[in-house]
Amino acid sequence: MSASLFAFVRDRNPDLSRPFLETPDGRKMSYGELFMASARFANALRALGVDVGDRVAVQAEKSPEVIILLLACARAGAIFLPLNTAYTTAELEYFIGDAEPALFVCDASIREAIAPIAAARGVKAVETLNAGGAGTLTDLAAKQDDTFDDVGCAPGDLAAILYTSGTTGRSKGAMLTHENLVSNALTLVDYWRFTKDDVLLHALPTFHTHGLFVATNTLLMAGGSLLFTAKFDADEIMRLMPRATSMMGVPTFYVRLLQHPGLTREATRHMRLFVSGSAPLLAETHRAFSEKTGHAILERYGMTETNMNTSNPYDGARVPGTVGFPLPDVDLRVVDPETGAPLGVDEIGMIEVRGPNVFKGYWRNPGKTAAEFRADGFFITGDLGKVDPDGYVHIVGRGKDLIITGGYNVYPKEVETEIDGMDGVVESAVFGLPHPDFGEGVTAAVVLQKGAAIDEKAIASALEHRLARFKQPKRVMVLPELPRNTMGKVQKNVLRDTYKDIYAKD
pLDDT at 397: 66
The alpha carbons of the chain give a radius of gyration, in whole angstroms, of 23
pLDDT of residue 126: 98
Closest CA to 361 of 168, 156, 183, 182: 156
The answer to whether 478 touches 448, Cβ cutoff 8 Å, is yes
pLDDT at residue 170 in the model: 73
> Residue 168: what pLDDT?
44
Nearest to 3 by CA among 194, 150, 222, 191: 150
Specify the pLDDT at position 400. 65
d(CA 469, CA 471): 5
Q: Please state, in angstroms and rounded to a whole number, the distance separating the CA atoms of residues 251 and 385.
A: 20
CB 463 within 8 A of CB 472: yes
Q: Report DSSP state, residue 306.
A: T
Query: Which helix H or strand E contains 288, and what residues bound it?
Result: helix 283-293
CA dist list (Å): 264 to 256, 268, 289, 320: 14, 6, 9, 20
Q: What is the pLDDT of residue 459?
A: 94
Whole-number Å distance between alpha carbons of 417 and 412 = 9
**Whole-number Å distance between alpha carbons of 301 and 288:** 21
Phi and psi at residue 384, to the nearest 5°? -95, 135
Among candidate residues 253, 247, 279, 219, the one with its CA nearest the CA of residue 67? 219
Residue 167: predicted pLDDT: 40
DSSP code, position 342:
B
Q: What is the pLDDT of residue 426?
A: 87
pLDDT mean by block of 10 residues, the chain; 506 residues: 94 98 96 98 98 98 98 98 93 96 97 97 97 97 98 97 69 96 98 98 95 97 98 97 97 92 98 92 89 98 96 97 96 92 93 98 96 96 93 81 84 85 90 92 94 91 93 95 72 91 79
Half-sphere exposure of 259 (CA within 13 A, CB side): 10
What is the Cα–Cα distance from 229 to 442, expressed in whole angstroms?
Answer: 27
pLDDT of 501 reads 92
Report the alpha-carbon distance of residue 178 to residue 315 in Å, rounded.
29
